[in-house]
Structure 1
Amino acid sequence: MKRKLTYIIVAISTVLMTVSCQQETLRVTQDQQEDSFLKDTNLVGLVQGVTAHDGSHDNAIDGSSCFSINFPFSCIVDGEEQYYEQASDLVDLYLANDIDPVFPITVTYADYTETQINNAIDFDELITRCASGALYNRTIRCVDFIYPIEVAVFNPNTSDFETLVFDHDRATFNGIVDLLDQDMIAQIQYPVQVTIFEGETLQIDSDEDLKSIINTNLNFCE
């Protein structure tokens, strides 16, 4: 373990010496794996929930927050075809009695994957799958990150060290997936800021603070 730790410290030091403007942002400890926020499954789940795609803006059409219909699209609304280009166009749909999308449509799931839906049967099946819990839908709407967010990353297999900068929710969600797939050591660079459901801005200084803030505000999520 001491030899492995020495190897990691030397590897990081070498990289930092070649880039004079880069400060050491990745902490290396006796158990560096535990120092990676990716090893905290609770924290990873919470961060992905905060950054997941929110499909609730078109619930008047599908009644499902597991996905949303990609703009632009059309619907037959109480017998008349209507064209929609953005979320604000959908407000009046909550007053309609009958709404049917004009197929084909493309939908984006909470995990940002997309698929094309070609008919009403497939659309209804998708809604049923969401209602039954078969689709990922851990979206946390009462907490939002203020970007950018920096994450220091070390690859123990290649000795590569870098700082990733995420500038929106999709990049953060997918970035975490990529880091998990590659078995990286990663640390969020604090402080970071979030806004909570009331619009208040909070500064967060550690992984434990981040978990606490998100968990405390979960009761206020719709």
Structure 2
Amino acid sequence: MKKILCLLIIGMILCSSCQEEEREVIDPTINNTIPKDSQLAKLMRNVVTHDGSYDDVIDGGNCFSINFPYMIIVNDEEIIVDNIGDYQNLSVNDMIEIQYPITITLFDHSEKTVIDGNELNTYVASCRKEDDDIECVDFVYPIGLSIFNAQSNRFRVVDIGHDSQMFTFMSTLGDNSFVSINYPIDLVAHNGQRLNAQHNSGLLETILDTAFTCEENDN
């Protein structure tokens, strides 16, 4: 009986050792992990925040944009707006009337239906004069992310293919989850210059260096 008991104890010790070895292999604190409240995580969210300032001449709200296509009346003429180039023909001196209902995309890439001007003004009032989005640089997709969940001790890899996916992922990252980017990745500056990041410090430097190199559309 003592012999069997000794064998059971030895087995438990070996099993515990194996679990410790596994934790060491996938230790979330090593190298390129990005804490959710870190400067890099916040800057990444700012890069992928939806920019709603390009149509402010119509809706007046820099934290959302109106989805194409939609109709407006400009100086008594009906116009269908279906691309960004249409805004170049408008000015703040034009008499512009939006034809409702419309669908808008908010800063977090969610969509809402707006039925009248009063409801639109509510969204306009929710915008800050200077929003957090970084318009001067964008990620080039796809980007692979490795995620370790400390609670379940599970590891997975996801491919991100759009700003909306990246925003949702970075905004909903739990306290027990640790994320790292599968480098290298590319970014593109507002002037079309291709940029490359090989690690977290390089990505942080690239975003900081390009964040204010262009004239943003916020009013």
Normalising to structure 1: TM-score of the pair?
A: 0.79
2:122 corresponds in structure 1 to 125
- Output aligned runs, 1:99-110, within 5 Å: 99-110=96-107
Shift of 1:40: 4.5
Three-state SS of the structure 2 residue aligned to 1:28 is coil
Q: Give the unaligned 5+ runs of structure 1.
A: 14-26
2:195 corresponds in structure 1 to 202
Shift of 1:93: 2.2
Report Cα offsets for 1:156-199 as digits up to 9, x if no partner.
22222111111121111112223x14731110111111112332
- Output aligned runs, 1:50-89, within 5 Å: 50-89=47-86
Q: Are the structure 2 counterparts of residues 193 and 6 from structure 1 closer, same or farther at C-alpha, using a change threshold of 3 Å?
A: farther
Q: Which of 165, 170, 177 in structure 2 is aligned with 1:176?
A: 170
Determine if contact 1:46/1:214 at 8 Å carries over to the other structure: yes
Shift of 1:80: 2.1
Q: Are the structure 2 counterparts of residues 88 and 7 from structure 1 closer, same or farther at C-alpha, using a change threshold of 3 Å?
A: farther
1:146 corresponds in structure 2 to 140
Three-state SS of the structure 2 residue aligned to 1:220 is coil
Normalising to structure 2: TM-score of the pair?
A: 0.80
> In structure 2, how many angstroms separate the alpha carbons of the residues matched to 1:78 and 1:5?
77
Q: Are the structure 2 counterparts of residues 39 and 169 from structure 1 closer, same or farther at C-alpha, using a change threshold of 3 Å?
A: closer
- Output aligned runs, 1:23-62, within 5 Å: 28=27, 32=29, 36-62=33-59
What is the one-letter code of the residue matched to 2:158? L
- Output aligned runs, 1:153-172, within 5 Å: 153-172=147-166
Q: Are the structure 2 counterparts of residues 86 and 5 from structure 1 closer, same or farther at C-alpha, using a change threshold of 3 Å?
A: farther
Determine if contact 1:193/1:203 at 8 Å carries over to the other structure: yes
Larger radius of gyration: 2
* Count, aligned residues: 201
Shift of 1:150: 0.8
Q: Are the structure 2 counterparts of residues 77 and 186 from structure 1 closer, same or farther at C-alpha, using a change threshold of 3 Å?
A: same
- Output aligned runs, 1:89-104, within 5 Å: 89-94=86-91, 97-104=94-101
Q: Which of 172, 179, 198 in structure 2 is aligned with 1:186?
A: 179
Shift of 1:218: 2.0
Shift of 1:214: 0.9
Q: What is the root-mean-square deviation in Å for CA atoms of aligned residues? A: 2.8
